[in-house]
A and B are shown apart, each in its own frame.
Chain A
Amino acid sequence: MRRVFILLVVAGFGVIFAGLVAGYGERQTLSALATFYLTEVPADLGAANVVTGILISFRGFDTLGEVAVLFMVAASVGVILASEPGDKPLLLPAIGGKGQGPSELVRNGAEVVLPLIFLFGTYVIMNGHLSAGGGFQGGAVVASGVMLMMLAYPTGPLHHGFLSITEALAGVFYVSIGILGMVLGGGFLDSHILPRGDFGTLISAGAIPLISILLGIKVGAELSVIIDRFRS
């Protein structure tokens, strides 16, 4: 009886998706909204990367909401996995028995790769308005670097409190810039509060790089806190 029901549900989904697939046709021209974005983002905001321009300026409030969701996740993970202060962090080698330290390969590899990962993450954050990427993506890259650091040095110098404070400060500055946009510019998170600068240079596109950097710091710290919670 139950199986028949499940089969019926799956078949129903199949019918819905078959309709979607059959009716799909690739657009040959841009929609009106896409045309607006493609002309307006470089001209009005001065950002060469249209995606980041949209994410941080036109939909900046959305991005703030995303970061807030991430913060909620970090907080609830902390509540669920709250550990005693005396607990030692789990020594987790990539492969191997419990309680062993990280393997030679992980430790030496991390020494070579870690600076490159952090450099790449910073590059992605700083050049968010010029090339692919932006605060969110760069923050995720930095967090994956932190993850490798935690794997290679389980008793490493990374403090939970430091991450939390960094994250909180970045969030406060993010919202402050948003409010500054309301006071000086045209609305919450308006990027026109700083001069637009020369198109395509590192310091340009108004407040977009600044917001991108804060976003990157916040996302990186948040994801690192989540991983740190799982570790302890």
Chain B
Amino acid sequence: MLEMLILLVCGSILVSGVLAVMLNNLMAAMVSAGLASLFAAASYVLLAAPDVAMAEAAIGSGLATLIFLYAIRKTSGDVTDE
């Protein structure tokens, strides 16, 4: 049961990571990258490492995503990259 859950979460990390690379809309890609980080945090909790999960959730999916958001705003590349 736990293995299935871990596999599911790891699959979600993969899917959102690939989406972050493939999506043309920069905003959506950024959210997807943050989602990959959030799933990684969930997998750390499942693997009994809550200390690491806390740092990953706060920095990886919170602060890093916001910094990307600011960067996108500053370069005014709102929608596409092509």
Contacts and interface: CB of A to CB of B under 8 A. Distances in A.
Contacts of A143: 58, 63
Interface in B12-49: none
A124 B66 CA distance: 22
A71 interface: no
Contact of B50 (A132, A140, A151): A132
Given A90-B73, A230-B71, A137 B66 contact: no
Interface string B39-82: 00000000000110011001100110011011101100000000
Nearest to A95: B27
A214 interface: no
A132 B54 contact: yes
A137 B70 contact: no
Interface residues of A, number: 23
Given A90-B73, A141-B58, A223-B63, 18 more contacts: A49-B51, A51-B51, A92-B70, A124-B54, A133-B51, A134-B51, A137-B51, A140-B54, A140-B55, A140-B59, A144-B63, A147-B66, A223-B59, A227-B63, A227-B67, A227-B70, A230-B67, A231-B70
A132 B51 contact: yes
Contact of B66 (A51, A90, A132, A227): A227
A174 interface: no
A140 B69 CA distance: 18
User: What range describes how many residues of B lie at the interface?
Assistant: 10 to 19
Contacts, number: 54
A57 interface: no
A137 B54 contact: yes
B51 A144 contact: no
Interface string A213-232: 00000000001001100110
Given A140-B58, A223-B63, A92 B50 contact: no
B63 to A, nearest CB: 6
A133 B54 contact: yes
